[in-house]
């Protein structure tokens, strides 16, 4: 992939962009294999490749510049805005939307936040696209509510200029720290959810929901988990850290009891909405249910465990306490990880489980980052 920003030394986020893609992919698999070398006999499936450009469904843009001429991209070493709105990582729908977003910022007179001076309002714009429909979610991360009234007044212009903007919201992040977003979200329009279709299933994202940034590779990840679950054919499973229900909904089957656990109440509501739209049962035999709560607390208090558990933890991994509970219960485990180092640490803490199959998923081309899924079985 050629990137004019990289060539001009304006952005170095894609540190591996000068390497041929096959070499990137081979290096990621080699890194993952080395971390899991303590478990010989793992069946390594072919890595899942990504498109080289236009693969990101989300743009997290730092706002710089001025009210009249805002920049959307990153900040340089001096804290000045570097505009990256035509970054080739983003699909055409996102690239086309960002100039309109910049004009909306100017019309609503939202001053970009200045880190050194600690003044201004707008810190980030987070834009997400549902690639099947082209619909957008636009989030504006603000220091305070100072600009909200002006944003509401300019909203009809934005909706007319960018009809695909399904969800528009303001997130309040008042602290002067390198934190992307805050706890409070103010929905400015009438819609509060963006529908992403993944392998034909509707997943509903509210503004603060997590979703993988590479939709096509995410489809392959969910499909692989479903295939491994079908191989084991459990009558029940848990999906811990289930988010908006991607793994749980993909792995549901007639007569199979599925329980998804997620700390976010909003994400659980989205998962339940998807379940109901698909027509999966919410009660009775083979019910698909979702619980808002801490994964560790749920696992500790649940009593009997199912024969299979799916986990998709944050980068820190399961942690010693949850890994100890898994080790004691000894279910089959489908582990989706965005950090192979914490994955390897968790596996060492669960010696009764043996990895039998693994696959690298290249969610993030041109960088050292990747995701990996592992099927581990007792014995």
Asked if residue 342 lies in contact with residue 372, where contact means CB atoms within 8 angstroms, the answer is no
Residues 6+ apart with CB under 8 A from 340: 31, 32, 35, 36, 370, 372
- What is the C-alpha separation between 52 and 332, in angstroms, rounded? 34
- Find the angle CA(33)-CA(34)-CA(40) to the nearest 5 degrees: 65
- What is the C-alpha separation between 98 and 95, in angstroms, rounded? 6
Asked if residue 266 lies in contact with residue 244, where contact means CB atoms within 8 angstroms, the answer is no
Asked if residue 288 lies in contact with residue 248, where contact means CB atoms within 8 angstroms, the answer is yes
- What is the C-alpha separation between 336 and 222, in angstroms, rounded? 9
- What is the C-alpha separation between 330 and 306, in angstroms, rounded? 10
Catalytic residue among 14, 32, 87, 338: 338
Asked if residue 288 lies in contact with residue 252, where contact means CB atoms within 8 angstroms, the answer is yes
Both tokens of 276, joined, read 């109901």
Residues 6+ apart with CB under 8 A from 220: 48, 361
Based on the residue annotation, tell me whether 338 is a catalytic residue of this protein. yes
Q: Which helix (H) or strand (E) holds 355?
A: strand 353-361
- φ/ψ of 257, rounded to 5, equals -80, 125
Buried/exposed 206-237: b ≥16 CB within 10 Å, e otherwise: bbbbebbbbbbbbbbbbebbbebbeeeebebb
Residues 6+ apart with CB under 8 A from 12: 6
Strand-pairing partners, residue 292, are 262
User: Phi/psi class of residue 77: alpha, beta or left (left: φ > 0; alpha: ψ in -120 to 50)?
Assistant: alpha
Question: Catalytic residue positions?
Answer: 338
């Amino acid at each position: 992939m050629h990137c004019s920003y990289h060539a001009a030394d304006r952005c170095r986020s894609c540190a591996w962009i000068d390497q041929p893609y096959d070499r990137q992919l081979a290096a990621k698999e080699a890194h993952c294999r080395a971390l899991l070398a303590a478990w010989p006999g793992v069946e390594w499936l072919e890595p899942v490749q990504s498109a080289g450009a236009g693969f990101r469904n989300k743009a997290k843009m730092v706002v710089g510049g001025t009210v009249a001429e805002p920049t959307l991209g990153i900040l340089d070493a001096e804290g000045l805005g570097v505009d990256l709105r035509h970054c080739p990582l983003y699909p055409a729908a996102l690239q086309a939307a960002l100039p309109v977003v910049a004009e909306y910022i100017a019309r609503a007179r939202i001053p970009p936040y200045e880190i050194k001076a600690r003044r201004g309002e707008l810190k980030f714009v987070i834009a997400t696209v549902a690639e099947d429909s082209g619909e957008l979610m636009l989030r504006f991360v603000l220091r305070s509510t100072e600009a909200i009234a002006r944003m509401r007044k300019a909203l009809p212009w934005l909706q007319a200029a960018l009809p695909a903007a399904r969800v528009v919201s303001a997130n309040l992040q008042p602290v002067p720290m390198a934190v992307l977003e805050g706890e409070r979200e103010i929905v400015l329009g009438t819609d509060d959810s963006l529908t992403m279709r993944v392998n034909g299933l509707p997943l509903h994202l509210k503004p603060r929901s997590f979703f993988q940034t590479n939709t096509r590779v995410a489809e392959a990840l969910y499909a692989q988990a479903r295939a491994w679950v079908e191989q084991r054919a459990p009558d029940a499973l848990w999906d811990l850290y289930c988010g908006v229900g991607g793994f749980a909904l993909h792995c549901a089957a007639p007569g199979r009891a599925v329980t998804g656990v997620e700390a976010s109440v909003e994400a659980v509501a989205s998962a339940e909405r998807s379940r109901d739209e698909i027509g999966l049962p919410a009660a009775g035999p083979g019910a698909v249910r979702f619980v808002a709560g801490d994964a560790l607390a749920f696992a500790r208090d649940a009593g009997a465990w199912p024969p299979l558990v799916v986990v998709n933890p944050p980068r820190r991994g399961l942690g010693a306490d949850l890994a100890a509970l898994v080790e004691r219960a000894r279910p089959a485990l489908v582990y989706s990880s965005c950090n192979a180092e914490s994955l390897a640490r968790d596996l060492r803490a669960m010696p009764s489980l043996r990895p039998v199959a693994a696959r690298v998923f290249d969610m993030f081309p041109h960088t050292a980052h990747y995701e990996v899924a592992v099927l581990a079985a007792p014995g």
